Amino acid sequence: MITPTVPLRAVTPSTTAKRAPDTGRSWRGRPPAATSDAIWVPSVSAILILAAGAVGLATGQPALFVALGPTALVVASSPGHPTTRFHSVVLGHLAAFVCGWVALLLLGAGGAPGIFAGQALPVVRVWASAFAVGLTALVQPTMRAYHPPAAATALLVTMGAYKLTWKSSLGMMAGVLIVALLGEWFQRVRLGEQRTGATS
């Protein structure tokens, strides 16, 4: 089984020597596309986090949690990439969540002190965390939902960061859905702008 990777272009002197001409529309010497990205990525990332936070404030559940930070950033910075599409984000986090629970159950780590107990993380939770992340990396590609930031969701479960109940679990997935839905819309907008710019 092969997990998707992002091909990287080799950096050579010929590619670094060329500099985009300053057309007058650039900002501080940057080409227009780079200037646009410098505004788009931080803005969209912040909006996605604010949306999840608003859901959390309205419901009193942890709709905003740490794993959504890298998700928001990668969605904003890589529109159209297979790992940032709606189904990859939702199924990726769901798979990681389930893998975290499976790891806790199989290793009996649920009763061990969590990360906020004021002491070093118990060995059994370390093993559960490693197992959960490995299982997540195994399961996601088979579901065609490879979303690396979701590994943080598995760790939240295995490290005992939250007292997970059905209600709080649904709250977390609500945050994932909000970020995925808004992220999908923002990606379509961004891809449309890029196509328009390429044809103009």
In a domain, 14, yes or no: no
In a domain, 16, yes or no: no
In a domain, 103, yes or no: yes
The reported pLDDT for the residue numbered 186 is 95
In a domain, 21, yes or no: no
Q: Exposed, middle or buried, 72 (CB in 10 Å: 0-12/13-18/19+)?
A: buried
In a domain, 10, yes or no: no
* Number of compact structural domains in the chain: 1
> Domain range holding 109?
39-199
Residue 153: other Cβ atoms inside 10 A: 29
Reported confidence tier of residue 3, pLDDT bands at 50, 70, 90? low
In a domain, 97, yes or no: yes
In a domain, 58, yes or no: yes
In a domain, 33, yes or no: no
Answer whether 0.85 is exceeded by the pTM.
no
Chain segment 17-74, per-residue pLDDT in tens: 344 444 444 445 555 555 588 899 999 999 999 999 999 999 999 999 999 999 999 9
22 near 57, Cβ under 8 Å? no
Lowest mean pLDDT among 58-72, 107-121, 132-146: 107-121
Average pLDDT score over the chain = 85
Give the integer Cα–Cα distance in Å for 196 and 200.
6
Report the chain's terminal Cα–Cα distance, integer Å. 41
**Shortest CA distance to 71 belongs to which of 148, 160, 157?**
148
